[in-house]
């Protein structure tokens, strides 16, 4: 792990990290998030709504979000994504929609931000489509589960840095 913030230069100014000297490698990241809602809202998501299939719309939104990450996060590099997979499933016991996104590229920098953006946008889309029924929804646990590639190799949540 780095001992400093890589997006801040020696004078304290924000900067885009120079990745030009890094080797191209296969990079992959997996992120997850949840949208908690009441049982009636969850039932309607399972059945579909007047706005369409909530989970399908959120899946497409998540993929679009990953593709637009560098437009949303100022210091992110635009990346040629090889793939973005967004999975949404209902967890009735926990009362939520669980969103998992996997982003992959062959490049000089990782795709953690793309996976996290895909999850965030998909969660926000679920919220948007369901808010008329349940305004008390909570989006939480948006986090990186794993990443691989580059100098730092493989990292999995719950393992040492």
For Cα atoms 108, 59, 27, give the angle at the middle one, nearest 5 degrees: 15
d(CA 3, CA 22): 19
Closest CA to 103 of 124, 118, 90: 118
Whether 66 and 114 have beta carbons less than 8 Å apart is answered as yes
Assign 3-state DSSP to the chain and report helix, strand, coil percentages, each to 5: 30, 30, 40
Active site residues: 128
For Cα atoms 79, 18, 85, give the angle at the middle one, nearest 5 degrees: 20
Q: What is the CA radius of gyration of the chain?
A: 17
């Amino acid at each position: 792990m780095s001992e400093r913030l890589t997006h801040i230069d020696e004078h304290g100014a924000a900067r885009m990290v120079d990745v030009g000297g890094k080797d191209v490698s296969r990079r992959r990241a997996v992120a997850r998030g949840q949208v908690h809602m009441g049982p009636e809202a969850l039932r309607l998501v399972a059945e579909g709504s007047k706005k369409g299939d909530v989970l399908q719309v959120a899946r497409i939104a998540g993929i679009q979000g990953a593709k637009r990450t560098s437009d949303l996060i100022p210091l992110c590099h635009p990346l040629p994504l090889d793939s973005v997979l967004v999975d949404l499933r209902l967890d009735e016991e926990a009362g939520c929609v669980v969103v998992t996104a996997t982003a992959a590229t062959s490049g000089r920098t990782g795709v953690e931000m793309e996976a996290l953006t895909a999850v965030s946008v998909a969660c926000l889309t679920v919220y948007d489509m369901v808010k008329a029924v349940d305004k008390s929804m909570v989006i939480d646990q948006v986090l990186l589960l794993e990443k691989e590639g580059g100098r730092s190799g493989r990292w999995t949540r719950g393992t040492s840095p």
